[in-house]
Amino acid sequence: MKIKYVRCSSLTQNLDRQLEDKDNYDLIYSEKVSGKSKDNRTELNNMLKALRPQDQVFVHSIDRLARNTLDLLTIIKEIKDKGCSITFIKEGWTFTNDDNFATKTQELMLTIIGAIAQAERITIKERQMEGIKIAQAKGKYQKAHPTKLNKVIIQQVKDDRKTGMTETELMNKYHISKPTLYRYLKK
């Protein structure tokens, strides 16, 4: 079976670039979640559990599979140990249980590229923190935190909803998220 794994880091990002060839696969696992750890990736773990010998896994590029070198190597080993292959389309590399010189060279290169992807992720986080500090110094950034409303305000939210205020208007007026709004409306 030809299986494709597709991932991007956030809900606002688009998977289309990785799905241009979707008709070439029997099954596609896709998710929008950070690649920093394999632990929180439901679709990746579902795919790994479902693999059968001779399955072929395809991933757009190495950084789509993992942004952590240890996870990258561990995931590839797990796929190979199940008698499956994994191909990184962008890099043009395929890994199987065949033990030959080309595979050893590719694994060395994979480790190096995995380390670069991990370093890139760390650099992105550092730049993000620098930007946050600058924004905080200018008074333009506040760390998000859950809004806590007291009983009086919760009743006001409910009353405003009864008068016909939309969810968006309520969220803006009380500075709360949609899940928080629903939680208070249920009370």
As a whole number of angstroms, the distance between CA 89 and CA 131 comes to 34
The one-letter code for the residue type at 61 is S
Q: Does 4 score more than 90 pLDDT?
A: yes
CATH of region 2-118: 3.40.50.1390
Instruction: Name the least confident of 4-18, 35-49, 83-97.
Output: 4-18
The tokens for 185 are 């409306």
Reply yes or no on whether 37 is catalytic: no
Is the pTM higher than 0.85? The answer reads no
Q: Does 37 score more than 90 pLDDT?
A: no
- What secondary structure letter does DSSP report for 39? T
Confidence class of residue 16 from pLDDT cuts 50, 70 and 90? Answer: confident
Cα-Cα end-to-end distance for the chain: 49
Starting at the edge strand found earlier in the chain, the sheet holding 93-95 runs 27-32, 2-8, 56-59, 85-88, 93-95
Domain ranges of the chain: 2-118, 151-186
Q: Does 160 score more than 90 pLDDT?
A: no
Location of structure tokens 């620098």: 130
Render pLDDT for 44-101 as a digit per residue (tens, 0 to 9).
999 999 999 999 999 999 889 988 888 998 999 999 999 999 999 998 888 887 766 5
Q: Does 149 score more than 70 pLDDT?
A: no
**Active-site residue, selected from the candidate residues 9, 10, 37, 61:** 9
As a whole number of angstroms, the distance between CA 92 and CA 131 comes to 36
Render pLDDT for 92-133 as a digit per residue (tens, 0 to 9).
888 887 766 556 787 788 888 888 888 888 898 899 889 888
